[in-house]
Amino acid sequence: MNMKEKLKVPTMAQMLANNEVPEILFWVGCSGSFDDRAKKITKAIVKILNKCNIKFAVLGQEEGCTGDPAKRAGNEFTFMMQAMQNIQILNGYEIKKIVTACPHCFNVIKNEYPELGGNYEVIHHTQLINGLIKEGKLKIKGGNFKGKRITFHDPCYLGRANDEYEAPREILQKLDSKLHEMQRSKERGFCCGAGGAQMFKEAEKGNKEVNIERTEEAASLNPDYIATGCPFCNTMITDGVKLLNKEENIKVLDIAEMIINAEDL
């Protein structure tokens, strides 16, 4: 991050040393921490939190993988090891509320950590942003997106797994843009492939890779932007746009990035 921007990203350890308690813990996740493209999403969320004067903290080097990839791959032992280590740290800091930009982290911490002793209020970053807008803490205008054609790709672990479809759409409608729904959206949404770990392995035999199928469906609407709410979705659909040679016409952005681009935070 550019130091000139003076982004404030305190760690829980720093807050504890100052006898401070954050309103919310920002769970950055593996993609948001290490993937260069996803780091831009992390930065956008921090800008929004700073802009709205939300007292937050990150775990920093104390944050480990949630264990979701291991669990989905069938390695329950590794999942338990990773989850228990995270829960021990979270409970040690007496964390009550967590926000994350990754629906995979969101789903596993919200739904699978409680039975292991990790009970927290967990929200997705689109839910946080939507709440800040409704409370009047974040005021946005269409800006660069006014009148643009936008379609939103539902992340599987936000939508079908947790029934959150409206928060991201309510945000996009505040951009004075034209929201066009894909044929397969909301409850009938179609996975980009990373829910099936296609980011991490070669595709199975078939006629077409799943991210190409989904990107073609989005591109058929002739959007100016494909909005995402998941770093894995962002990668898969960005790759799809590149393979379709439509990079000049279609941009893929996370909703948090669209907010800061509209407002130039």
**CA distance linking residue 84 with residue 244, whole number of Å:** 42
Q: Which residue has the higher pLDDT, 114 or 188?
A: 114
Domains, the chain, with CATH or none: 3-130 (3.40.50), 140-263 (3.40.50)
d(CA 189, CA 214): 10
pLDDT value at residue 198: 55
Question: Could you identify the residue written with the tokens 């946005």?
Answer: 140
- The mean pLDDT value for 189-197 works out to 72
Q: Is 175 helix (H, G, I), strand (E, B) or coil?
A: coil
Q: What is the mean pLDDT of residues 111-127?
A: 98
223 contacts 151 by C-beta, under 8 angstroms: yes
- What does the pLDDT read at residue 235? 93
Q: Kindly list the distances between the CA atom of residue 120 and the CA atoms of 64, 96, 259, in Å, as whole numbers in the listed order.
A: 17, 5, 27
- Quick one: pLDDT band at residue 206, thresholds 50, 70, 90? low
pTM for this prediction: 0.92
Query: Which residue, chain included where needed, has tokens 């960005």?
Result: 238
Give yes or no for residue 99 having a pLDDT over 50: yes
Q: Cα separation of 195 and 41, whole Å?
A: 19
Q: Give the tens place of pLDDT for each residue, 210-250.
A: 888 899 999 999 999 999 999 999 999 999 999 999 999 99
